[in-house]
Amino acid sequence: MMKVTIMTSMKAVLIHAFGGPDVLRYEDVAMPAIGPDEVLVRVSAIGINPPDWYLRDGYRALPPEWRPKVDFPIILGTDISGTVEGVGHNVTGFSVGDEVYSMVRFFSVAESRAYAEYVAVPATELALKPQGIDHIHAAAAPMSLLTAWQFLVDVGHSRPNPLQAEPHRPVPLEGRRVLINGAAGGVGHLAVQVAKLKGAHVTAVASGRNEALLRELGADVFIDYTQNDSTTIRDLDLVVDAVGGPATARFLQTLKPGGALFPVYPLGFAEADEAARLGLTVSTTQVRSHGGQLAELAPLLDDRRIRVVIDSTFPLSAAREAHERAEKGHIQGKIVLIP
């Protein structure tokens, strides 16, 4: 008689309190159960993103009243690539054995639970993994690529934007002069490629060691911000500031009237009046899970029209070291965990 082993526990990385990388714990937890509209994914790789360490740290950059209240322990993480192990009874588009990738339940604080060997994923947030790339590159893509896409091409949802009254609207890119600041990071290196794909003339701003990479990815002009002031350039149509924060306002002077500034990290921008006086749009959005867009993007990843660059990989059990690497900054592309 065949013996079937049903797994009841798995390894995951949890936090039991907010804090630095040392609060990350590699432990045994119960396997996730799936609902009727969900898929159980055996995870092969996990891409890490700034919201992982913002949550680990208790979102300390936010005013106290905005900080999330959570029930510990929490499993961090949102981005995965892996193989379907089970499907809920309402799910029609996926079968056991399919290779898939996803940004799981974002923005839904502490409910994504991706730093784990298995994750339950709503089927609407899942897409077939691009066949031409491995799980490491597929897991590295979702949040950063969806961010670039939702800022530059298609917001993809109509949920209210908590950060501004007007919904975010992408602007035309064909033939336009676009500057990407923070161009070597997770969002930045993909934004450079999306803007090029849509016909823009792209200026990439990053530290010097990234020049060859960014030119290879399509940048027409490279500015090493450690040597030169990236804000002396004029008459741009669009600045995508993937560094953002209060310093984003210095890019207003680089834009022509009618131009737009998209701070990807918008907290701290306080020059709305100045932007209006100059006839500029300042707009931001918050990335949202979207299986349909990941399916649309898969062919671009498949044939390397969009390339995901890997900064470094770590075993899932060394998530702490991965977060320590992230804290050092100057990330070139993406950091990935491997269960």
Ligand X SMILES: NC(=O)c1ccc[n+]([C@@H]2O[C@H](COP(=O)([O-])OP(=O)(O)OC[C@H]3O[C@@H](n4cnc5c(N)ncnc54)[C@H](OP(=O)(O)O)[C@@H]3O)[C@@H](O)[C@H]2O)c1
Angstrom distance (rounded) from CA 230 to CA 137: 30
207 binds ligand X (CB under 6 A): yes
CA torsion 87-88-93-94 (nearest 10°) is -10
Buried b (16+ CB within 10 A) or exposed e, 12-38: bbbbeebeebebbeeeebebbebeeeb
Site string for ligand X, 232-251 (x = CB under 6 A): ----------xxx-------
**Which residue of 197, 215, 265, 305 would you call a contact of ligand X, by CB under 6 A?**
265
Angstrom distance (rounded) from CA 218 to CA 216: 5
Tokens of residue 210, six digits: 């990234």
- Residue 290 CB, shortest distance to ligand X, in Å, is 12
Distances in whole angstroms, Cα of residue 145 to Cα of each of 86, 104, 192, 228 = 27, 14, 11, 28
What are residue 179's DSSP bridge partners?
203, 239
**Which residue of 138, 206, 233, 301 would you call a contact of ligand X, by CB under 6 A?**
206
- Residue 36 CB, shortest distance to ligand X, in Å, is 29
Q: In 10 A of CB 247, how many CB atoms?
A: 14
Segment contacting ligand X (CB under 6 A): 65-73, 89-97, 116-124, 177-185? Answer: 177-185
- Residue 241 CB, shortest distance to ligand X, in Å, is 9
Our CB check for ligand X shows the closer of 130 and 186 to be 186
130 binds ligand X (CB under 6 A): no
Our CB check for ligand X shows the closer of 160 and 329 to be 329
CB 290 within 8 A of CB 125: yes
**Which residue of 186, 259, 291, 339 would you call a contact of ligand X, by CB under 6 A?**
186
Our CB check for ligand X shows the closer of 25 and 330 to be 330
Segment contacting ligand X (CB under 6 A): 73-81, 140-148, 270-278, 297-305? Answer: 140-148
Residues that bind ligand X (CB under 6 A): 49-50, 143-144, 147, 181-182, 184-188, 205-207, 210, 225, 242-244, 264-265, 286-287, 329-331
